[in-house]
């Protein structure tokens, strides 16, 4: 990335939205997790499968500028004791059409490290979700593109994940959470590595199935109705670390430098709408292309 002045810090402009709970399932006690799930279900029961999931309109963002009406920058908190960094708006930057999230050693509140996250302000439903991104390397770090909604939004915890555990940049983990319970976790190969260049990650969420793709190749398909999300979700990018989730993310050690995650493009294409750029999964996915 180019240094200042071509690199522009992103400044958050409004109140803090809901916090994501990802990672808690690997740290919290079983009792605490069950209580959280129970509370969320009371707040907002799962709708009937016959109901349509509401969605904001399709969009493509290639980060030629930063749209504050579309994105919220997380700043000043963390997602729980499992996370060793505090979200900081200073670690979300825009440069030459690339959004960069950072992780570095810097004391912020009670955490020794600072990290970056963005999330959409609107919620999205059935359709094709796509991101073109590149990660760094480092044990104990997580670079993620995902959709999420949860109890802070007075909804059950539904989530669809691409998570690169940068201890091993040859793979990406795909997963879903239904009412806070993990389903369909799988490691998928990323040819050439997540850190050697930009790769395309996408999922197609429909009422009857969910498909995950890496560089246009189908890597996971979910068709069990009990394992499909039913609530509109926000889109997130995040880069964070943990010294507690070692079995999952690997032992953490101070990288001694600023670690980054870069995003060239993100898009959501609602089901039934035309594809929005020529490389999009949505251009051929419904006609059978990219299905193998």
Catalytic residues: 159, 163
Among 263, 185, 172, smallest CA distance to 217 is for 172
Can you tell me the distance from the alpha carbon of 90 to that of 168, in angstroms, rounded to the nearest whole number? 27
Residue 121: Cβ within 10 Å count: 14
Instruction: Name the percent of the chain in helix, strand, coil, to the closest 5.
Output: 10, 40, 45
Outline where DSSP puts E strands in the chain: 8-9, 59-61, 71-73, 85-87, 92-95, 98-108, 111-120, 127-134, 141-149, 158-165, 171-178, 181-189, 199-205, 210-214, 217-222, 234-241, 259-270
| β partners of residue 183 | 176
Is there a contact between 58 and 268 (Cβ–Cβ < 8 Å)? yes
Can you tell me the distance from the alpha carbon of 151 to that of 41, in angstroms, rounded to the nearest whole number? 8
Is there a contact between 36 and 80 (Cβ–Cβ < 8 Å)? no
Q: Which two tokens stand for residue 155?
A: 């909804």
| β partners of residue 260 | 102
Residue 65: Cβ within 10 Å count: 10
| β partners of residue 130 | 202, 267
């Amino acid at each position: 990335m180019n240094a200042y002045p071509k690199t522009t810090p992103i400044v958050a402009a409004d109140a803090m939205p809901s916090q994501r709970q990802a990672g808690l399932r690997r740290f919290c006690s079983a009792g605490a997790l069950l209580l959280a799930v129970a509370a969320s279900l009371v707040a907002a029961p799962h709708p009937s499968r016959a109901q349509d999931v509401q969605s904001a309109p399709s969009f493509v963002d290639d980060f030629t500028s930063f749209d504050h009406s579309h994105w919220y920058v997380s700043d000043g908190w963390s997602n729980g004791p499992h996370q060793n960094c505090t979200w900081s708006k200073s670690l979300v930057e825009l440069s030459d059409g690339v959004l960069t999230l950072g992780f570095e050693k810097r004391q912020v509140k009670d955490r020794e490290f600072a990290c970056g996250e963005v999330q959409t302000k609107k919620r999205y439903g059935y359709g094709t979700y796509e991101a073109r991104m590149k990660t760094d390397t480092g044990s104990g770090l997580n670079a993620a593109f995902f959709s999420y909604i949860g109890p802070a939004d007075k909804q059950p915890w539904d989530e669809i994940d691409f998570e690169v555990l940068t201890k091993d940049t040859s793979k990406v983990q795909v997963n879903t959470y239904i009412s806070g319970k993990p389903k369909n976790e799988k490691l998928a190969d990323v040819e050439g590595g997540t850190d050697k260049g930009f790769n395309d990650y996408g999922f197609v969420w429909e009422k009857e199935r969910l498909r995950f793709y890496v560089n246009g190749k189908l890597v996971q398909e979910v068709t069990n109705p009990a394992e499909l999300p039913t609530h509109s979700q926000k889109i997130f990018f995040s880069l964070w670390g943990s010294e507690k989730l070692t079995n999952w993310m690997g032992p953490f050690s101070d990288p001694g430098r600023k670690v980054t995650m870069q995003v060239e493009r993100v898009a959501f294409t609602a089901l039934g709408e035309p594809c929005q750029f020529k490389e999009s999964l949505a251009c051929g996915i419904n006609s059978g292309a990219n299905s193998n």
